Amino acid sequence: MRYISTRGGTIGQYSDILVEGLAPNGGLAVPERMPQVDAAQLEQWRDLSYPELATEVIGLFATEIPRNDLAKLCRAAYEPAKYASDRAVPLTDIGEGMTLVGLSEGPTLAFKDMAMQFLGEALEYVLATSGDVLNVLGATSGDTGSAAEHALRGRDRISVFMLSPQGRMSAFQRAQMYSLQDENVHNIAVEGVFDDCQHLVKSLAEDLAFKREHHIGAVNSINFGRISAQIVYYIWAWLRVTDELPTEKRTGFEVSFAVPSGNFGNILSGLYARLMGLPVRKLVLATNENNVLDEFFRTGRYRPRSSADTLATSSPSMDVSRASNLERFIFHLLGRDPERTAATWKTLASEGEFDLSSELSRFSEEFGIVSGTSTHQDRLDTIRSFNSSTGVTIDPHTADGAKVARDFVEPGVPMLVLETAKPQKFADTISEALGSPAEVDAETQALLDAPQRVTKLPNDEAQLRAFIEENALR
């Protein structure tokens, strides 16, 4: 399998894109062709464990990695000791035609663990083979950072430089990141919002001389390794939902997925699963008050907001106004035409927006994406209602997904709501929703009380460059 840039040109194989991150021309890596999965293949995968399924699915994209080696990487990433559930991804009926897909059973209690644990193993494997080092540069709105750092901490050939927006994450999220004392982990709190952090990362990644001199790579969802690993749980969830169906009814049985969305990486993985042949009826994109993506999928106009206009909300991991993975979707929307994709991003750079309403209306059925917006009050009401009716407490981001999903539930079509994180990561909002102080267990209190190690920097590219130059592995 070869990979190309959304803006033209060939990048290389899977191992190459793991360490490359952004393409040299500023585009994102996409498969030269989308692998296909049919009903017979899905049935062959039905009885596999999660690590075994991950080996099969990721193996469709990482064709140059020997299968035995890939199987070892997946076993290490998804070993039962790392996950609270023995199935890694449990499914729970929460009523109203919805099923919660439990993606937050991993070390940092967030769905990002499902891809990041694999990426940590895969990066170490590739670097050991090549003898190189990698300085990972990333930006986080909350959960990516902690998942990346916990997956990469203590690794000899990898250093992590993670940018986060000052004052824009929950206390639990900050503690998970800033309490790490590993020498290869560098937390950088930037004066600004997530989009400022993401802009700094992209600016340095586009400086090819700096990138190569300092061995800069990425683990944000611009890294296709994460996208490929996230496809696995869409297929896993479909298999579990159809386990109880008679064999003759499984073929083509459609489900829908509701996905809380910030940077568009998670729902893009669902779209790829659909394009591969998984029977997905709808992909429900849920945004919070920073609803740039909802506006785009409703109107075809993409109008990212400025940092000043990006709101701080009670679902902070979705406080994103520039979704970096949207470019991969636009590439497919424009018929996989790299010249039109590059031109669209030039329009965005010069005019601050673009309009693809005609293309989106023509091809909406092909992609199955629908969308909606949730507010703070919606989150509180949704958390409260599901807790009252089922005893299940969901986090604010998952509440955004469930709230929007309600408008798209169809008889006979299971609606699978992807869990974003465990509710204890957002204790203040849960307490506000349920009307009682959140219970803090001893382990959580110890985390919150632990010494924190973080460097504060202004939103200044020169100062970030200097910090990396001083601390990067060579």
Hey, which residues are catalytic here?
A: 112
Which region holds residue 215: left if phi is over 0, alpha if psi is between -120 and 50, else beta?
left
Is the four-CA dihedral 164, 178, 204, 155 of positive or negative sign? negative
d(CA 83, CA 455): 31
Q: Largest Cα–Cα distance of the chain, in whole Å?
A: 62
- Return contacts of 63-68, CB within 8 angstroms, 24+ apart: 63/1, 63/13, 63/14, 64/1, 64/13, 64/14, 64/15, 65/14, 65/15, 65/125
Residue 177 is encoded by which pair of tokens? Answer: 């990141």
Residue 410 is encoded by which pair of tokens? Answer: 């169809």
The answer to whether the CB of 91 falls within 8 A of the CB of 240 is yes
d(CA 119, CA 126): 10
Buried b (16+ CB within 10 A) or exposed e, 385-399: bbbeebeebbbbbbb
Is residue 86 packed enough to be buried (19+ CB in 10 Å), middle (13-18) or exposed (0-12)? exposed
d(CA 382, CA 402): 7
Q: Spell out the alpha helix ranges (H) of 322-373.
A: 326-333, 338-351, 357-367
Buried b (16+ CB within 10 A) or exposed e, 16-39: ebbbbbbbeebbbbbbeeebebee
